[in-house]
Structure 1
Amino acid sequence: MRRILLAFLATVLIGATAAAAQSPPQIPGMNSAPPGPQPKVQVLDPLYDFGTATEGKMVDHVFKIKNLGQGELEIRGMKTSCGCTAAAPSKNHLAPGEEADISVGFDTHFQKGHQVRTITAFTNDPTTPQAVMTMQGVVKQQVAATPAQVAFGTVHKGTAATQEVTIDDLTGQQGFKVSSVSNASPSIKVAIEPRKDGKPGAVLKVDLLPTMPAGSFDDSIKVTTNRAPLQIDVFGTVAGNLTLDPAQVSFGIVPKGQDVVRILRLTNSSPRDVKVLDISSSTPAVVASADPVKAGREYRITVTLRRGTPDGQLRGQLAIKTDDPEQSKVDVPFYAIVGQFKI
């Protein structure tokens, strides 16, 4: 079997190599060099270490790009490694010997610890079409939450649960205050209470209400203080009367041209019988069917990854529709990697 798999991989790799030779990958900003003088890009100081910054502050820096070539250098676009960083050039066309400023701003809100951000300038330099700049440093957190996340785990539908989060001031200054909290889910209630140990800060009482519908849930608590804002993720699962085992489908790594079958069990723990009305899929590559093991109480769900699914990662979701008044739909995530192997 291993020899067959190795032979299959060799065939795939040879084909991929041939295809790559016929169609070389295109890099943004890379063109065949036109005749005549050529530009040459250089970042004068490509690494900026800002040392330590307090969370919530904007870190600003100006990188300098120079044209060392004989032709005009064109800055065709900018890209940053995350949305909390912005970059803009002072000019887009540089004559030979000319410089341009790249102004960069790094928003440290909700950041902590060692941070690295990259900024890429796409140019018409035929040899170096991408000029990369890096800024790094340590963001010192002003406010901390313990625990940093609220995990309710699995809670049965109709059951309430409560957890507490302690908010601490890390600056050591006087007058720390938690002024407000907010979140999106109506089934999660958050209240600010004083700390019982007499220290600055507050305790957040996080209540999961019985109204939370069955299934996985997530929310985010936004905490406003007179130091810096804080964000606390909340997540968990509400188990209804209909439960799946397993709760998701992993097809694993699948050789191209093969189909794969997985079996799930849908169990009903409510007093009334439940029928499976339909199963739909987010992609035609995965299909499913339901067969009663014990009508109204237990169903065998057969999930198939169809032969001929294109190479690459596959993610999607099944929707099992039932006549249960409280769980009319049960979602089942699935994922697979087709045509990629690790030996």
Structure 2
Amino acid sequence: MTRRRMIAALTGCLAVWLVGPATVHAANWADSLFVERSHHFGPVPRGAKVKHEFTLINRMGEPVTILNLRPSCGCTSGQASASVVNPGQSATVEAQMDTRNFLGEKSTILFVTLVTASGREAEVRLHVTSHILADIVLNPGSVDFGTVVKGQSATQSITIDRINGANWRFERMVSASRAITAQLVETKREPSGAVQYRLDVGIKPDAPAGPLRDEIQLLSNDRETRSIPVMVTGWVRGDLTASPSLLAMGEATSAEAKQGKFIIRSSQPFAITAVDGAGDGFSVAPLDGQRKTMHILTVAYKPEDGTTRGDLRRIFRVSTDVPGEPPLDLTATIHAAP
């Protein structure tokens, strides 16, 4: 066999080896539940935090549980809008990338573990990619207000620097949020081409209670980097509060059940109208409809009633009759031993 034919044969074997696993993965029943499984953020400034929501639609004839989210890189994180997705319903899986420590093309994977009520388990790979610029820097990379009491205003600022941008400027801002204010000010323009802007972002006093997750798009006159995203996050705390924020229930074996408690408070008497998220070994009680200023919800997990094992994470959505208050999302974790 000639050297050229040997190389061709080895190349063909390598192609079969590479295509084989990909074909098997493409046949994964869980892949078809996602509307898309890859996203390219395009050019983004260094330091920026960018996010994308992948939509999952349950086309199965049984509930599907989002069991676990695992990133391939420390620069990536993920969160799901729900733990259990019933047939015909949808949920989102948000993938977030932090670009502080990278330049150029950067790709990562968010591994999503799904399991059906009948016990079928599969892993979906969600790919996110950014082209991280060296000449535009955000500091800090996003606006995070943390927890803000409803009715109070709060303001944070970030800077946007560009080198070799003598003719570069922002033309306008775009945001769909009615809970925040934003003001963009040019603070420096030097003959060397160095340009700096400051973005001041505030939360309005009338912002509704609940999570704040928005994105401000800064539109420039640069055709190659037309839009720069700035992520805005926070939590507006209303009259309704819950503790702990994360209930760690430890480890459950096949011989014992585990319990934990959430305490939900308000300054005025209220009733819990619904709790979503129970099932597959998890239960929540009591739901007595009583109106009082404090409710104690007991979360229980029975291994014999669950179909999955390992590290489990469950989100319980608690709805109340408190006017103007959105549902509370309470998270519980447990390790179910084999």
- Per the normalisation by structure 2, the TM-score is 0.57
Residue 56 of structure 2 corresponds to none
Identical amino acids, percent of aligned pairs = 21
Following the alignment from structure 1 to structure 2, what is the Cα–Cα distance between the partners of residues 41 and 298? 75
Aligned pairs for 1:155-166 within 5 A? 155-166=148-159
1:247 Cα deviation after fit: 2.0
Following the alignment from structure 1 to structure 2, what is the Cα–Cα distance between the partners of residues 337 and 217? 30
Task: Note the residue ranges of structure 2 that are not aligned, 5 or more in a row.
Answer: 23-36, 47-98, 109-130
Provide closer, same or farther for how the CA distance between residues 118 and 295 of structure 1 changes in structure 2, counting only shifts above 3 A.
Answer: closer
Q: Which of 174, 177, 181 is the matching residue for 2:166?
A: 174
Q: Which deviates the most, 190-199 or 200-209?
A: 190-199
Q: Using CA pairs below 8 Å that are at least 6 residues apart, which structure has the higher relative contact order?
A: 2
Provide closer, same or farther for how the CA distance between residues 69 and 329 of structure 1 changes in structure 2, counting only shifts above 3 A.
Answer: closer
Provide closer, same or farther for how the CA distance between residues 252 and 195 of structure 1 changes in structure 2, counting only shifts above 3 A.
Answer: farther
Following the alignment from structure 1 to structure 2, what is the Cα–Cα distance between the partners of residues 148 and 225? 18
Provide closer, same or farther for how the CA distance between residues 110 and 250 of structure 1 changes in structure 2, counting only shifts above 3 A.
Answer: farther
Aligned residues: 234
Residue 59 of structure 1 corresponds to none
Task: Note the residue ranges of structure 1 that are not aligned, 5 or more in a row.
Answer: 1-39, 43-65, 86-105, 120-137
1:261 Cα deviation after fit: 0.8
Q: Which of 201, 215, 221 is the matching residue for 2:210?
A: 215
Following the alignment from structure 1 to structure 2, what is the Cα–Cα distance between the partners of residues 215 and 331? 10
- Verify the 8 A CA contact 1:283 1:316 in the aligned structure 2: no
Residue 296 of structure 1 corresponds to 292
Following the alignment from structure 1 to structure 2, what is the Cα–Cα distance between the partners of residues 240 and 107? 37
1:155 Cα deviation after fit: 0.7
- Verify the 8 A CA contact 1:143 1:230 in the aligned structure 2: no
The Cα offsets for residues 122-180 of structure 1, whole Å up to 9 and x where unpaired, read as: xxxxxxxxxxxxxxxx95422122221111111112222222221111x2341221223
The Cα offsets for residues 202-249 of structure 1, whole Å up to 9 and x where unpaired, read as: 221212123432222212222233453432221111111111111232
1:116 Cα deviation after fit: 7.3
Provide closer, same or farther for how the CA distance between residues 303 and 192 of structure 1 changes in structure 2, counting only shifts above 3 A.
Answer: same
CA RMSD of aligned residues (A): 3.8
Following the alignment from structure 1 to structure 2, what is the Cα–Cα distance between the partners of residues 77 and 183? 44
Following the alignment from structure 2 to structure 1, what is the Cα–Cα distance between the partners of residues 12 and 179? 65
Provide closer, same or farther for how the CA distance between residues 164 and 83 of structure 1 changes in structure 2, counting only shifts above 3 A.
Answer: same
Provide closer, same or farther for how the CA distance between residues 190 and 67 of structure 1 changes in structure 2, counting only shifts above 3 A.
Answer: farther
Counterpart of 1:216 in structure 2: which amino acid?
P
Aligned pairs for 1:1-343 within 5 A? 66-68=8-10, 74=16, 76=19, 83=38, 109=44, 113-114=102-103, 140-169=133-162, 171-195=163-187, 200-227=195-222, 228=225, 229-269=227-267, 272-281=268-277, 283-290=279-286, 296-308=292-304, 309=306, 310-327=308-325, 329-339=327-337
- Verify the 8 A CA contact 1:182 1:190 in the aligned structure 2: no
Counterpart of 1:172 in structure 2: which amino acid?
N
**Equivalent position SS for 1:141:** strand
- Verify the 8 A CA contact 1:280 1:287 in the aligned structure 2: no
Following the alignment from structure 1 to structure 2, what is the Cα–Cα distance between the partners of residues 140 and 71? 38
- Verify the 8 A CA contact 2:43 2:133 in the aligned structure 1: no
- Verify the 8 A CA contact 1:280 1:288 in the aligned structure 2: no
**Equivalent position SS for 1:203:** strand
